[in-house]
Structure 1
Amino acid sequence: MLKPIFRKLLFLLLPVLSSFSPPAKKVKNTKPNIIFILSDDHTNKAIGIYGNKLAKTPHIDRIAKEGALFNNFFVTNSICGPSRAALLTGKYSHVNGFISNDKKFNIDQFIFSRSLEDSGYQTAWIGKWHLETLPQDAFNYWTILPNQGHYFNPNFITQSNDTVTYKGYVTDIITDLSKDWIRNRDQDKPFLLMIGEKATHREWLRAVEDLGSYDDIDFPIPPSFYDNYHNRIAAAHQDMSISETMQLGFDLKVNVDYDSDWIYSRLDKEQRAAYRTYYGDYLSKEFNEKNLKGKALTEWKFQRYMRDYFATANALDRNIGKILDFLDENGLAENTIVIYGSDQGFYLGEHGWFDKRFIYEESLRTPFMIRYPGLIKPGTVIEQSLLNIDWAPTLLEMAGVSVPQEIQGKSFSGLLQNKMINWRDHVYYHYYEYPQPHRVMPHFGIRTSKYKLVRFYGDQNFWELYNLEQDPQELNNIYKQFENSKLVKKLKEDLKVSVLEYKDDLATQIIQK
């Protein structure tokens, strides 16, 4: 036992002795990094892993093969900005306030990236943002395309509110900026990187190296291409048809002036020359010689639309491959969650359309896949019905961060581990933007595994009902046949439950009328 004098001496020496002690051992970060690649208007029907044998998407397919593929992932409002707002907040459009692209997103509300930052994550958003505001303090770092952005030599807005112009193709530039941020981040922190892609948004400007790709392919015309919209008022009312709405010049690059047209104002001399040679000397000449009319013209437009759309997706897939390779080369793959998804689905000629918006399957359904080695078994397939409001709570839970009660989505992290979870048996949807730009009537409704019940409202008020098993193309509105049936009564009860659960006051008022 130490005598008092020695205890006193030891007490006095402790501060000095501690300064010579070995440094604390650095604790390795165990939280997963997260990379979320969000494309624009890229439908699952244009992805190989979902069954399209013409699509050249080996790198997107790789994410699903090495992780989980979701067959029934849906959006809550099929339009660009509102879908991003749902991702950021985990809430429906009527709750987060961003119901249509002409609104301004409230950046001061709950955003899941702030919760990750509070728990030690470094966060970034790079690329397309499209929310009519700036990310401000929602991310540690951001550099975004203004509005829709440009495909060639685009401007980016930086955190200092400077506008910087980068030379090159937008998909390549977004990848380079993303890799640079990963290299230069705080290496001691886990990170969240949101990569907002512009592709495959209209006007489908291909990278120069993809000019001519798919020209040797004749795309099959969808069975519903010549839909007559019988007994479907809203479908007949829209303005998004390939035959009438799609423009030869604006969309298909036929007989345009590459020196004066604003679409091509960003192209440099070499890029413009390549476009003029391909679309002017070759494509426009071919079109003028054919002198097409009627169905022949419509089907020619469809083929050109498909070739531009799929070729624009080539660069998207190619750059996803670059990101995956970068993770492998830098030892980051094992502890990084990699996600690929789109902001909604898109029409590739189904019902004769392009664009999105409707609750119908092609625009309601969005591609989604996630890879996380060690947690997700390669080749996992998820069949449950999920929503884009589920993204935020899932990422929070996978990062070990508590999910706020205000979030309306539901974490599906347990499904990734094949756990038995009580899951929703239907999904709720609400679309608002009318009449511009595509004259799609506002509507809300629910989708179950077998049925879809929809209420259109506004200028006209009516119901639609579809049996998805018997009528997967949704050509036959059977509401009047079953209006007074137990089936419709049950579906309306389920719809009312969803409307109340998600606090959709506008839908509540309409249902009660």
Structure 2
Amino acid sequence: MKTLFQSFSPYLTGVAATTVVFSFSSCKKENKVPPRYNIVYIMTDDHTGQMMSCYDTRYIETPNLDRIARDGVRFTNSFVANSLSGPSRACMLTGKHSHANGFTDNTTCVFDGSQQTLPKLLQTAGYQTAIVGKWHLESMPTGFDYWEILPGQGDYYNPDFITMNNDTVREKGYLTNIITDKSIDWLEKGRDKEQPFCLFIHHKAIHRDWLPELKYLTLYEDKEFSMPDNFYDDYEGRRPAAAQTMSIAKDMDIIYDTKMYREGMKSRLKKAYGRKIKRLTPEDRVAYDAVYDSITDVFFRENPQGKELVEWKYQRFMRDYAKVVKSLDDNVGRVLDYLEKAGLLDNTLVVYTSDQGFYMGEHGWFDKRFMYEESMRTPLVMRLPKGFQKRGDITELVQNIDYAPTFLELAGVEIPDDIQGISLMPLLRGEHPQDWRSSLYYHFYEYPAEHMVKRHYGVRTERYKLIHFYDDIDQWELYDLQTDPTEMNNLFDKPGYESIIEKLKQELVGLQTLYGDSIEYRLRDKKL
């Protein structure tokens, strides 16, 4: 099998050019039929490693997510190709960067469901495929034997689902629980148990507006979360960072995001918040209001202003985000428990990840989009089937375009030449390929749009990151991640880095050529 990387090897200065041949470790005889491994892929929205205790113990505990890492592997250098929900999902489904799969942003794109995708390729090999939960790609799912998806972003309380009959059905309860219920129900009753399966469990959690499950409304209310050291970043030397509108201080909505509601208050998102909580039953609304009305009373009595208000908003954000993670962690535990009880764990790859990372106050922000570490980096843990001995950390650079070829190889399916990701199977077998990739490519397109993050592309190596912001701006940024892991010091115009910049630009051009991302913005870029 020839990979895309081999086709462009003249352009590679450190990019991997590797061919992977998979042999099942459990096959001791040549005539023995290899196992048909199942795949359970659990993906959340906007979950970040800072809020997952197998990565970071500062804030909360996530015991069930940690179970996956403890019993399998934890990727410590896992990244996305475009830190935005729809585009990230399209990258996962196709194994291709955004420009190649056609879904570059959430505002102008509709996913082309006729194209080659991971579930379609698995179907051709006899796999049953199913997806439950968030889709967020505008078109209807294709390549799935069963699907129930959320319209748009979906709702936490008493949510609607679109069914395969094109009906929209309202379900009663909390969304994270319902998605898990539907997923387990399909595993138990909806599939042919004689055939292998790939189930995509796609949660809305932990996406903004962070509405908690009712039983966790008061959880973390007595906890003071520590603030990141760069919370009060002044963005010196980083004009694009200063131009965003995702600041906790300036842009976090007092009603929609912190739930402080009083009649007469003005808010851009007041009506949107009202629609969200009106989905609660009258009885549940009483319980909800009892908690947040009391917090609102204290807020208006104390009337924080200035820096005190900013830090109060941060605490509210952190508490509600953490509450939503708690329900998510519970439900991951339910899936693991079911697989164990049903005797499926030994023959199933269980994957947990998020569609991107998120800022938990770093640089003073919430949200994602930037190529900076907190949003480009994403958690990734896997519980491996029986016969895979690898445990602990995997440190190689991996990206969400790698999931499709990994699952295909695990299923014994030939990986098409046009897939741009690399199968992670050698890493799961405990190997450390010498020719593994040494750089990653990133491209963000959605501007002007929500949060106003400028368009940019760049390259990340183990130590350095080079970013070019383009379109209505022309700025380069260089970071030494070894000496400046929080990316506060732009080195691009500092003397002494000329040779490093030149090498990184060559690597960037090599990646753009490799992936075919040679669109018109490059023609306008006189510096490349």
Taking structure 2 as the reference length, the TM-score comes to 0.90
Structure 1 unmatched ranges of 5 or more:
1-26
Instruction: Give 3-state SS (helix, strand or coil) of 1:50's partner.
Output: coil
Deviations 1:210-241 (A, max 9, x none): 11111121100100000000010000000000
SS in 1 for 2:425: coil
Report the counterpart of residue 231 of structure 2 in structure 1. 225
Q: Deviations over 1:369-409 (max 9, x none)?
A: 11113243364210011010000000100111110001000
Provide the secondary structure at the position in 1 that maps to 2:130: strand
Match of 2:25 in 1: none
Is the 2:49–2:357 contact (alpha carbons within 8 Å) kept by the matching residues of 1? Answer: yes
Select which of 340, 343, 347 maps to 2:359: 347
Deviates more, 1:259-268 or 1:55-64: 259-268
Unaligned runs of 5+ in 2: 1-31, 264-269
Please give the residue correspondences for 1:275-354 in structure 2 after superposition, counting only pairs within 5 Å. 275-280=288-293, 282-354=294-366
Q: Is the 8 A contact 1:375 1:417 kept in 2?
A: no
The answer on 1:61 being equivalent to 2:66 is yes
Runs of 4+ in 1 over 6 A off after TM superposition: 257-260
Is residue 452 of structure 1 aligned with residue 452 of structure 2? no
Q: Which amino acid aligns with 2:522?
A: T
Q: Deviations over 1:256-301 (max 9, x none)?
A: 5699911212111122111100001x11011011111010000000
Cα offset for 1:436? 1.1
User: Contact between 2:64 and 2:332, CA under 8 Å: does it hold in 1?
Assistant: yes
Which amino acid in 1 is paired with 2:136?
A: H
Q: CA deviation at 1:484?
A: 6.8
Aligned: 1:149 with 2:154 = yes
Q: Give a deviation string over 1:77-132, Cα, whole Å, max 9, x none.
A: 00000000000000000010100012100010010111111101000010000001
Letter of the aligned partner of 2:54 in structure 1?
Answer: I
Deviates more, 1:368-377 or 1:342-351: 368-377
Between 414-423 and 317-326, the greater mean CA deviation after superposition:
414-423
Query: How much has 1:164 moved relative to structure 2?
Result: 1.0
CA contact (8 A) 1:29 1:190 kept: no
Q: Is the 8 A contact 2:397 2:437 kept in 1?
A: yes
2:491 to 463, 478, 482: 478
Counterpart check, 1:117 vs 2:129:
no
3-state SS of the aligned residue for 1:327? Answer: helix
1:80 paired with 2:92, answer no
The alpha-carbon deviation at position 72 of structure 1 amounts to: 0.4
Cα gap change, 1:477 to 1:146, in 2 (>3 Å)? same
Aligned partner of 2:424: which letter? F
Given that residues 390 and 428 in structure 2 are in contact (C-alpha distance below 8 angstroms), is that contact kept between their aligned partners in structure 1? no
How many angstroms apart in 1 are the aligned matches of 2:388 and 2:381?
11
Contact kept in structure 1, 2:369 and 2:444, CA below 8 Å: yes
Identity of paired residues, percent? 47
* Offset at residue 511 of structure 1 (A): 3.8
Q: Is the 8 A contact 1:65 1:378 kept in 2?
A: no
**The one of 400, 403, 415 aligned to 1:403:** 415
1:373 aligned partner: 385
Contact 1:500 1:508 in 2 (8 A): no
Aligned to 2:139: 133
Q: By how many angstroms is 1:497 displaced?
A: 0.4
Per-residue Cα deviation, 1:299-351 (whole angstroms, up to 9, x for no partner)? 00000000000111111000000000001111111111100000000000000
Shift in CA distance, 480/110, structure 1 to aligned 2, threshold 3 Å: same
Deviation at 1:29, TM superposition (A): 8.6
Opposite residue 446 of structure 2, the aligned amino acid is: E
Is 1:194 paired with 2:187? no
Counterparts of 1:482 and 1:124 in 2: how far apart (Å)? 54
Q: d(CA) in 1 for partners of 2:367 and 2:513?
A: 30
* 1:49 alignment partner, SS class: coil
Q: CA deviation at 1:173?
A: 0.3
Equivalent residue number for residue 273 of structure 1: 286
| Structure 2 contact 37–385 (Cα < 8 Å) conserved | no
Contact 1:68-1:376 within 8 A present in 2 as well:
no
Tell me, yes or no, if the aligned pair for 1:499 and 1:508 is still in contact at 8 Å.
no
Closer, same or farther in 2 for the Cα pair 1:290/1:376, shift >3 Å? farther
Partners of 1:29 and 1:204 in 2: CA distance: 44
In the superposition, relative to structure 1, how do residues 245 and 324 fare at CA in structure 2: closer, same or farther (>3 Å)?
Answer: same
Q: Give the direction of change, closer, same or farther, for the CA distance of 1:236–1:323 in structure 2 (3 Å limit).
A: same
Q: 1:121 to 1:256 in 2, by over 3 A?
A: farther
Question: What's the TM-score, normalizing by structure 1?
Answer: 0.92
Return the alpha-carbon distance in structure 1 between the equivalents of residues 300 and 387 of structure 2.
56
State the distance in 1 between where 2:34 and 2:410 align.
14
**Distance (Å, rounded) in 2 between the aligned partners of 1:166 and 1:487:** 55
* Structure number, greater radius of gyration: 1
Query: Deviation at 1:28?
Result: 9.3
Matches of 1:424 and 1:510 in 2, distance apart?
28
Deviation of 1:467 after TM superposition, in Å, equals: 0.8
Query: Deviation at 1:35?
Result: 0.3
Per-residue deviation, 1:30: 2.5
Query: Structure 1: which amino acid aligns with 2:40?
Result: I
Is the CA contact (8 Å cut-off) linking 1:387 and 1:409 kept in structure 2? yes
Report the residue type matching 1:87 in the other structure.
Answer: M
The 3-state SS of whatever aligns with 2:235 is coil
Q: Which residue is 2:54 aligned to?
A: 49
Question: Does 2:514 match 1:509?
Answer: no
Asked if 1:426 corresponds to 2:439, the answer is yes
Deviations 1:408-455 (A, max 9, x none): 000011111111312111111000101210110000000111111000
Report the secondary structure of 2:68's partner residue.
helix
Does the 8 A contact of 1:74 with 1:366 survive in 2?
yes
**1:172 is aligned to 2:177:** yes
CA contact (8 A) 1:68 1:377 kept: no
Say whether the 8 Å CA contact 2:359–2:375 is kept in structure 1: yes
The 2-side partners of 1:140 and 1:414 are apart by 29
Equivalent pair of 1:445/1:452 in contact (CA under 8 Å): yes
State the alpha-carbon separation in 1 of the partners of residues 241 and 213 from structure 2: 34
Question: After the TM superposition, which of the residue ranges 52-61 and 151-160 deviates more from structure 2?
Answer: 52-61
